[in-house]
Structure 1
């Protein structure tokens, strides 16, 4: 990145905040059903039968609990994902700005460090409490088509209230170390791969603005690599956050116990439960996120047209 480009990144905090939040909203609306399937696969207990795969798990949810059960926990995600994505991009750009070389360039390792910092920041500030609530909602096997089948947790705010009331506020931070480790590796890989491929294409094509299909493709590739590096962390985290009983054991002891029990009872491959829907969830999610984020930044900076059906395109001044 040139010194001129470095200078342009300064004072863009509000833009990153709004663009990141908007990107997060679109990502949640498009990809949440895949996340519900992933959680159900990770929570499946070995019962002597072959675990249902990705497609069958989704079909079973729709068949037994109605189609909109795939959107269980969406409220928690929407409430959390806007500040999460806003924090992700704002903190990433902030950490990145601290790591520029005097000539305005930034190394691959420093890009990775900025991504790790962004992942840890979002995990502690937003992601962990949001995921505890989301997983509790997604783990409920009740039919949304039957009005008499009343779940324990009615919606995200109610779930958060019940969890805090019955188990204490600290329950919202159960598994935070795993969440932070997962988000750190995710965003370290994600931002590094995305930024480096993007820089390569910008130099190759001699342009600062890449077409949306290229941005989506880069996001798809970068988004697929993170889950492969930390699937065991995510599976153990899901099991840990799903439990509702109190424990005096330290977080690390419970993490080791859950991991050991999972391997003993179901094998090492169980640590990778839900990896298919997770990649199918995260990869297109990042494609959507980066595409919307780049588009919104251009809109907010007055660099692109806003498409309005039936109205001639007009550039923002």
Structure 2
């Protein structure tokens, strides 16, 4: 039911909002530890290698070290703002995608335009969702980035208040330009690839219905492809979001300083090499595969459940 179709006629815009928010909540609850690992890797200037200078050396090492130093709960650090981020993003993204594809359907375009339609509507939906949810992303990143032994923020409300008071409103949107550059092709590719792989799956198994299996397979492949393409911009966004936050990073090694997107990407390349632009890619790909599969499949299941109630 992702995208306007005959089967989505029974659903209202409120139904799409509920399904989008529900899928965001479920996905975030299950995948938050992967996000914490990804952010910690992205913010580490030192190489992710077995070396005395590296705080985190691998996915397993980082997981064990976080649990040892900060406790199991640290793997869900920043979970509340992350949930607010995921729910608001899910609502805005899926709702706007459904509205946009419904409007485009009135043009009666050839089916050959479907991939481009899905890409364009997905890109616009991603940008709208980013604008609506971005302040939660900044606060979430700050909470995940800070050390338990040198806490700057005690919680989400205090973080928002402190940022607004000491750094200003626009800091809540710091890093939004690389995010837009990242999100537009990423969201577009996600929706386009999901619909494409879903169609291929249906053709291979000779079925006309989208099932839980087809959603999981299509979502996994869409997440893998889309994340790899835009990953350097996601890394740059995280580096920009912690500028001016040195006091919370005392125990995490060298602090990375930059001025804007271009300077950030150039400095990463000069200091950390080409591989530095893909630092944290492994947990990020694991997260992308799992979260995209869960996001689309849970959205489909919630939509189908809501549709059945209207029968």
Mean Cα deviation higher: 220-229 or 11-20: 11-20
- 2:145 aligned residue: 139
CA separation of 1:38/1:7 partners in 2, compared to 1, >3 Å: closer, same or farther?
closer
Superposition TM-score, scaled by structure 1 size: 0.84
CA offset at residue 12 of structure 1? 3.0
Runs of 5+ in structure 1 lacking a partner?
143-148, 247-251, 304-315
- 2:69 aligned residue: 64
Conserved? CA contact 2:198–2:218, under 8 Å: yes
Instruction: State the SS of the aligned residue for 2:234.
Output: helix
- 2:80 aligned residue: 75
Conserved? CA contact 1:76–1:157, under 8 Å: no
CA separation of 1:55/1:194 partners in 2, compared to 1, >3 Å: closer, same or farther?
same
CA offset at residue 135 of structure 1? 0.7
Tell whether 2:188 aligns with 1:222. Answer: no
> Relative contact order, CA 8 A, sep 6+: which one is greater?
2
Runs of 5+ in structure 2 lacking a partner?
247-257
CA separation of 1:141/1:190 partners in 2, compared to 1, >3 Å: closer, same or farther?
same
- 1:35 aligned residue: 35
CA separation of 1:7/1:216 partners in 2, compared to 1, >3 Å: closer, same or farther?
closer
Conserved? CA contact 1:120–1:183, under 8 Å: yes
- CA distance in 2: counterparts of 1:289 and 1:11, whole angstroms: 18
Mean Cα deviation higher: 165-174 or 199-208: 199-208
| CA root-mean-square deviation | 2.5
Tell whether 2:56 aligns with 1:49. Answer: no
CA offset at residue 103 of structure 1? 6.0
Instruction: State the SS of the aligned residue for 2:152.
Output: coil
Conserved? CA contact 1:6–1:104, under 8 Å: no
- CA distance in 2: counterparts of 1:152 and 1:184, whole angstroms: 33
CA separation of 1:20/1:8 partners in 2, compared to 1, >3 Å: closer, same or farther?
closer
CA offset at residue 99 of structure 1? 2.5
Q: Number of residues paired by the alignment? A: 291
Conserved? CA contact 1:120–1:181, under 8 Å: no
- 2:187 aligned residue: 187
CA offset at residue 10 of structure 1? 8.1
Conserved? CA contact 1:25–1:82, under 8 Å: yes
